Amino acid sequence: MYQIDNSSVAPLLPASTSPGTVGFFTDGNPATGAAPTILPAEFMNMLMMENLNVLAAGGITPAKGQYNQLALAIAKIVQSSAAGQASETAAGILKLSTNPQAIAGTDDSTAITPLKLAQKLANYIGQATETAFGWLKIATQTIVNAGVDDAAAVTAKKLANATQSQAFTAFTTSGVPGALTLAPVPAISAYAAPLRFRVKFSQNSTGNDTINVSGRGTQNLKQYDSTGAKVAAVFAVGQLGDIEYDGTDFVLRDPLPPTVAADPWLYQPVGVPIAVFDNIAGVSQPPTNNSAYRYIKMTAADAYNTGVLTSESVTGSAPLVIATAVVSLSGSPINGQTVQLINTERRSLRAGNSGGIEADQGHGHRHSPLSPATAFISLSSAQSWQLPAPASGIGQSATTGDPVTDGTNGAPRIGNETRSKNIGVTYYMRVK
């Protein structure tokens, strides 16, 4: 294509866009005798062929009387370029290409490809590289809204590969007590810190809980205690909370308090024996699955103490039984200390020397001889015999027999220990 350049064009004048500039047509000037520009056939043929080539590139057949063919051809060329046509046209119109070089993302100075545009935009928003097909778009059609993979669009699913979007969402757990599962949408491909989910618990905690997210493997559920140590998580059915993967465990953070009654066992101090009538139906012992505290039952060889006591020892026979054990619980302030198992010893508590052990005993005493020195034996209400007084020392050194009834207060209760009237209870003691 060229500008008009025959001998009848305007003479050289100062550069401007006004008529008379070199390379432009002029109408001439009868007043001055300037002739108009002659329109040669060569120039008209050039214009005709340029337009016909555009129609051919757009697949339009020239037709008389139709005056929008050029516009239609240009629109089709643009549409074909957006769809990734392989062939170039001689018209020199910029085209988006999907040739192998463009798809591979290599430098191609002859084409601006969808892949190149997608890579630049993806890098800007931190997204993985898109595939090269058509124009990069963020679409709203059904396939995109459903999160289905669509190579022709940047979808919510693709963006979620880089960012787990959970705005206004709390995923409810499933599974069984102690072994929870979670199925977030979209699913995760792997565990990586600091992956975080808002969850609603479907089970109560058991004291040793795990969770499996998107089937990627079982992870422990933990939380931080008041000392900053990670301990087993405590939660209740319906409770909302955030769980965050720290590279080792899922840690329960900022949990919302469940609507449950206060736990009285939580407020007992360590080392205080608590008497419980656990023989009564409806009376429960302290739970063993709460990570915030742990009690022992002060009874030897009891399954309640599994994993908490070691080196148990029971010696002697009733009433002089000695039963001890050593606390073996990480995090307990009395870990490694020896305790008396007073339920087995049948030992009562007494104020005084804390931890001092005493066997039972009777107060030292002796029995006086019968008085007066002369004893009488009653034979009947009307007659009695007087016996001579015993010789000196006789009777004072003799032992007395078992207690017998005095005829008024009933038979004496005798046994191998001295005790007061009592009722049995089971003692528990908090050790953590």
- For the stretch 420-430, pLDDT in tens is 888 999 999 99
Q: What pLDDT score does 319 carry? A: 86
Tell me if the bond preceding 186 is cis, omega within 30° of 0.
Answer: yes
CA angle 21, 22, 24 (to 5 degrees): 75
Tell me if the bond preceding 372 is cis, omega within 30° of 0.
Answer: yes
Q: What pLDDT score does 85 carry? A: 42
Q: How far is CA 400 from CA 168, 240, 376, in A?
A: 89, 76, 19
Q: What pLDDT score does 140 carry? A: 43
Contacts of 89 (CB under 8 A, 6+ apart): 53, 57, 77, 95
Rounded distance between C-alpha atoms, residue 27 and residue 30, angstroms: 9
Asked if 195 and 244 count as a contact pair (C-beta separation under 8 A), the reply is yes
User: Nearest-CA neighbor of 395 among 374, 377, 365?
Assistant: 374
Both tokens of residue 174? 């499933």
Rounded distance between C-alpha atoms, residue 141 and residue 134, angstroms: 16
Place of tokens 């046209």: 89
Structure pTM? 0.39
Q: What pLDDT score does 359 carry? A: 83
Secondary structure letter of residue 258 according to DSSP: P
Contacts of 228 (CB under 8 A, 6+ apart): none
Place of tokens 């990480």: 330
Contacts 24+ apart (CB under 8 A), 398-407: 400/367
Contacts 24+ apart (CB under 8 A), 322-327: 322/357, 325/296, 325/300, 327/296, 327/431
Both tokens of residue 371? 């008085």
Q: What pLDDT score does 169 carry? A: 74
In the chain (432 residues long), the average pLDDT of successive 10-residue segments reads 74 47 77 82 90 90 90 84 47 44 54 63 54 43 51 60 58 94 91 92 92 95 88 90 94 69 87 95 92 94 96 92 96 95 92 86 73 52 54 52 81 83 94 95
Place of tokens 């050790």: 431
**pLDDT tens for residues 252-310?**
987 655 455 678 899 899 999 999 999 999 999 999 988 889 999 999 999 999 999 99
